[in-house]
Amino acid sequence: MEQSRRKVLKAGAALAVTAGLPVRAARAQQNVVKIGMSMPQTGSLGAGGQAALVALRLWVDDVNAKGGLLNRKVEFIAYDDQTNPANVPGIYTKLLDVDKVDLIIAPYGTVPTAPLMPMAKQRNLLVMGNFSFQVNAKVKHDMWFNNAPWNDASSWSDGFFANGKRVGAKSVAFLAADQEFAQNLANGARALAKKDGLKTVYDQNYPPTTTDFSSLIRAIRASKPDMVFVMSYPNDSVAIVRAVNEIGVGSGVKMFGGGMVGLQFTPNMVNLGSLLNGIVNYNSYVPGMKYPGIEDFLARYSKRAVEAKVDPLGFYLPPFNYAIGQMLEQAIRAVNSFEHGKIAQYLHGNEMKTVVGPIKYGKDGEWANPRVVQAQFRGIKDKDMDQWRRPGKQVVLFPEQYKTGDLVQPFEKARG
Amino acid sequence: MRFWIPAMVVVLVAAGVALSPVNEYFFYASYIVLTFVVLATAWNILGGYAGYVNFGTAAFFGIGSYTATVLFKWLGAPLVVQIAAAAAVSGLLGFGVGMLTLRLRGIFFAIATVAVIFIMETLMINWRYVGGATGLQLLRPEVMAPFESYTRMLFVVMAAMAVGAVALARWVQVSWIGRGLRALRDSEEAAECAGVPTLKLKLFACTLSGALMGAAGAPMPMYLSFIEPVSSFNLTWSVNALAASMIGGTIHWLGPVIGAVILGTLQQVVTVTISSEVNVLVVGVLLVLFVVAAPEGVLGLLQRWIRFFK
Amino acid sequence: MFFSWDLLFEALMFGVLLGCFYAAVSIGLSVSFGLLDVPHVAHPAVMVLGSYCTYLLASYGWDPLVAGTVLMAPFFVLGMLIYRFYYETFEKRGTEAGVRGLAFFFGVAFIIEVGLIMVFGVDQRTVNAPYIGDSLRLGDYRIPHRMIVAFGVALVLTFTLSAYLSKTFTGRAIKAVAQDEPALRLMGANPVRIKQWAFGIATAASALAGAMLIIVGPVEPAIDRLYIGRTFAIVVLAGLGSMTGTLAAGLILGIAESIVLMFFGASWAPAVAFGILLLVLGVRPQGLFGR
């Protein structure tokens, strides 16, 4: 008898404790609109995420200074997923069911965003994407809007391969992390390389936790490629740059880089310094590119970033995160509602004005007109943050409308 | 009957709660607590009854998750089939691991089971069909009436599984199998001399334990709508199963249940109020505390207090 | 996969350096588990703790190797305290408690790991030194300096410890207590004090190993899980209690991992250590040089 009673009592106790949990949830929502997200603030993407958060918080303050959205003050909630996709479902479930947020923004990066997509589709939620790559390709959610200046693989790798062909490159080596971003990009790039008639002499995936790239770089060197297309996340990108410096990639390589995330984060740029010279890599914005209002934004951002002890330059993510806020603002004001379906309809059918220029969406929720830049690092000195503000340190090779110079090759010579 | 009536009550209460307007997050959190109940109960069959401390829970749990994923992706199989297949595959793995390692003593057995985890994880990382290290996004099928959401249905499924696991553990405990396991826990050589078929019993315990852990892993991919190897094979599953049993008490089937409920609930509360990595601190500290100060677990403490007050 | 003799030779060279590093990392476990029979699953976690302490000192400008050597003293004391606690709580009470001792160290490993996450976060940490980042050029081959440094320190550590155990009085007492405790007691030495001392030495070795770990590559709190496999594989392959065996086993593991990495890809490398472990446990549990 004591066993059965104990069992029922236990079940009841567990029920009571956990049912009483969400006490903070049911509060009057009339005066406040809650926007919630998970943002990688530590881990591989952490440095970028922290900078992005400063920009988002700047937008929230700007909007609230104007009276809020539809006369409701914006309350912003952000948790840290540590760049670990396993943390994401739990965080967004908490945001939706415990914090009861009205709108969600995706975490920065493809890898943390991947687990969110099925949940968003199943619960019919509007998601503002944050610099992820093709993360909606399989789920095909129709209320997804990415803030990144690329759409598919060719928008990314066209610039890289075009430069290679111009200097007579015939073969390519692929090195990609085994994670959502790099694999999405690698699948696209491989097909494009074949179409272009390039010969693939090396093609390896590595587990995302790899820290020592000496063997991989050695193997790449042995395969004697003309171009090396690397698709990596910040921790690996830094390790690869260091390994290339230690081991060397061979005198025949004309171009190295392409899809290395993290070489756009200011802390990495400053720490790696001259090791970056010669690498051709993608970017979203480099000083000198003319977007309306961007210089003013960067100045205001810089002040807040210095206070928060975070990346003071803010070139890569912050302007595009501020743009997320601007897009939400325009859409919500236009449809006069917070209903996800209505906002999505507006975003699909209109062009929004933002601090990174006009943004128009294709049917898949990616930009209709991509604007990915491929730039070569030149003349970088060690331990100098201010050099990055001056144009000329990242020479834009592609696209034509922003081009500021030609490729210097071979890669080993450009590193000199 | 003394067992089955309250057991049925638990399942009915769970179903009732799932149909009531309780906050959605409750089901999300309770699912994990119920998973711990199954894992701890399964662990205890080999670890508590037979005394073979097994660190490999994560291997069986992860393989269960991946088996379910493969069946779902390949055949669109319903949840029940996924669970059955996961139990079968993990049971087989348990049998294989048992054949390989049950001749080893103490710490060697434990380390061998850790090795199994990493080998299974590496195999899944290298298998592109299930997503490799990248992982897979999974879209749940439409939920059946009368349940409002898929998570609520999973909650009831897991509650039923917990009752089933406990029933099996109880049956093992009171049967001749349990007696044999206890004998070999106390002294394997003496048991063998007395004619107990120790290897067969150990293999049985290992297989059953593995099968239950695999079954517990099967609904996880649907629960998260996502699967990837690092979290599926995380050593934290192992330490939680082990800690829950040691905290609750290892000699009786009630121990793992008590331990899992206490540990799981505490962790879920901490996740919502503080952060999720303090969970691991909670497990580590409680495990060390109980192992040092209260080796018989909560059950042992309760026994002592009852005797004290009599 | 792509094969060439050049690549094989480079893989072998790198494997030798890596193997010696792994041996140095496992030497502490060879003493604590191999000789003293303590189920020290927390050994890699203590080593990672050493890495982070090195990182802290390095952020004040210390050279990491110097930091590692200096840390050996406090870690020695820490080791003695841990053993004392383990002995009083578990070993004294017989084999049933031994199983719980295993669970205890498992819990301690997790506590250390989470403690590091709460203090330092999950980010990777590295140190800088003049010998990190450059490599030695021998013709077409390049050997990173950091590997050479780790190799050198590993050799010094292994041979010093080996000599200590066979030439000094305390050293031989430690080996004796592993082989025949009652006999040692009869000779008037206190086995508990000797085991405590030995465990202290093992932990001090872990501190230096931790410094080497962060010199060789970036560390993060969860890295101890990967090293459980490597260290135990080496100690078991060596045979419990053999110091030079540890070096040999380390070389085998290092070369095996390096070759798998080069020719089968980086996604299979983590399984090499655990595969070797299972193989040894299944086929020859007493290891190569075991007692």
pLDDT at A22: 44
3-state secondary structure of B67: helix
Asked whether residue C64 is assigned to any structural domain, the reply reads yes
Find the distance separating the first CA and the last CA of chain A, reported in whole Å. 83
Q: Calculate ∠ Cα C254-C257-C261, nearest 5°.
A: 135
pLDDT on residue A26: 42
Tell me, what CATH number does C20's domain have? Answer: 1.10.3470
User: Is residue B206 pLDDT above 60, yes or no?
Assistant: yes
* Chain A partners (3+ C-beta pairs within 8 A): B, C
| Helix B198-217, helix B24-47: angle, nearest 10 | 170
In a domain, B302, yes or no: no
Q: Average model confidence (pLDDT) for chain B?
A: 90
What distance in Å separates the CA atoms of residue C245 and residue C162, rounded to the nearest whole number? Answer: 10
At residue C115, the pLDDT reads 93
Tell me how many residue pairs between chain B and chain C have CB atoms under 8 A apart. 116
B274 part of a folded domain? no
Distance CA A383, CA A64 (A): 38
Percent of chain C with pLDDT over 70: 96
Distance from CA of B176 to the nearest CA of A (A): 22
> Which of B53, B119, B126 faces C275 most closely, judged by CB atoms?
B119
Contact A20/B at CB under 8 A: no
| pLDDT score of C240 more than 70 | yes
Using CB atoms, list chains with 3+ pairs below 8 Å to chain C: A, B
Q: Would you give the distance in Å from CA C253 to the centre of its chain?
A: 13
Cα separation, A304 vs A301, whole angstroms? 5
Q: How high is the pLDDT of residue A9?
A: 47
Instruction: Tell whether the torsion through CA atoms of A157, A163, A164 and A168 is positive or negative.
Output: positive
pLDDT at C186: 77
> What per-residue string of b and e applies to B118-138 under the rule 16 or more CB within 10 Å gives b?
bbbbbebbbeeebbbbbbbbb
B224 to chain A, any CB pair closer than 8 A? The answer is yes
Q: What is the pLDDT of residues B125-177, one digit of tens each?
A: 999 899 888 889 999 888 777 888 888 999 999 999 999 999 999 999 999 88
Distances (CA, A) of C77 to A76, B172, C80, C116, C165: 48, 47, 5, 20, 19
Inside any domain, residue B13:
no
The pLDDT assigned to C98 comes to: 65
**Residues of chain A positioned with their CB less than 8 A from the CB of C216:** 212
Can you tell me the distance from the alpha carbon of C195 to that of C189, in angstroms, rounded to the nearest whole number?
Answer: 11
- Report pLDDT for B66: 96
Show the low-confidence residues of chain A (pLDDT under 70). 1-30, 416
Q: How far is B24 from chain A (nearest CA, A)?
A: 6
Q: Residue type at C24?
A: A
Confirm whether C135 is domain-assigned.
no
Q: How many helices and strands in chain C, by DSSP H and E?
A: 11, 2
Q: How many domains does chain B have?
A: 1
| CA A234/CA B221 separation, integer angstroms | 28
What is the pLDDT at residue A1? Answer: 40
Reduce the secondary structure of C162-229 to three states and give it as a string: HHHHHHCHHHHHHHHHHHCHHHHHHCCCCHHHHHHHHHHHHHHHHHHHHHHHHHHCCECHHHHHHHHH
| Predicted local distance difference test score (pLDDT) of residue B184 | 85
Examine residue B272 and state whether it is found in any structural domain, yes or no: no
Structure tokens at B41: 């109960």
| Per-residue confidence (pLDDT) for residue C95, from 0 to 100 | 57
Length of chain C: 291
The token duo for A144 is 């997804």
> What does the pLDDT look like over A336-367, one tens digit per residue?
999 999 999 999 999 999 999 999 999 999 99
Strands laid side by side in the A144-146 sheet: A73-80, A32-39, A103-105, A127-129, A144-146
**What's the pLDDT tens digit per position in C77-115?**
999 999 999 888 887 666 566 678 888 998 999 999 999
Write out chain A residues lying below 8 Å of C6, CB-based. Answer: 222
In the predicted structure, residue B280 carries a pLDDT above the cut 90:
no
Cβ atoms of C260 and C72 within 8 Å: the answer is no
Of A313, A320, A317, the C-alpha closest to A354 is A320
**Residue B213 contacts residue B45 (beta carbons within 8 Å):** no
Where in the sequence is the domain holding B200, given as residue range(s)? 28-235
Confidence at residue A25, expressed as pLDDT on a 0 to 100 scale: 41
SS3 A72: strand
CA max distance for chain B: 62
Nearest chain B Cα distance for residue A329, angstroms: 30
List the single best residue of C102, C236, C276, C284 to mutate versus B (max B Cβ within 10 A). C102
- Closest listed residue to residue C14, CA positions, set B169, A363, A247: A247
**In-domain check, residue B12:** no
Domain count, chain C: 1
Closest CA–CA distance from residue C99 to any residue of chain B (Å): 7
Q: Give the A:B interface size as CB pairs under 8 Å.
A: 126
Domain membership of residue B76 (yes or no) is: yes
Domain-embedded: residue C288: no
B208 lies in some domain: yes
Q: Is residue C291 part of a domain?
A: no
Any A CB within 8 A of B24 CB: yes
Q: How confident is the model at residue C2 (pLDDT cuts 50, 70, 90)?
A: low
**Is residue C235 one of the residues assigned to a domain?**
yes
Look at residue C132 and tell me if it is in a domain. no
CB contact under 8 A, B239 and C106: yes
Token pair recorded at residue A162: 């075009």
Q: Looking at the domain assignment, is residue B145 inside a domain? A: yes
Domain of residue C19: give its range: 5-123+140-283
Put simply, whether A87 touches B (Cβ < 8 Å) is: yes
Tokens encoding B221: 């991919």
Rg over alpha carbons for chain B, rounded to the nearest Å, is: 19
Residue C248 CA: distances (Å) to CA of C27, C210, C236: 12, 21, 12
Shortest Cα–Cα distance, A236 to chain C (Å):
11
Q: Are the Cβ atoms of B26 and A1 closer than 8 angstroms?
A: no
pLDDT of residue A24: 42
Beta bridge partner(s), residue C144? C135
Question: What is the rounded CA–CA span in Å between residue A289 and residue A169?
Answer: 28
Closest CA to A131 of A37, A270, A256, A33: A37
The gap between the terminal CA atoms of chain C, to the nearest Å, is 40
Whether residue B76 is predicted with pLDDT greater than 60 in this model: the reply is: yes
| Residue B55: Cβ-neighbour burial (10 angstroms; 0-12, 13-18, 19+) | buried
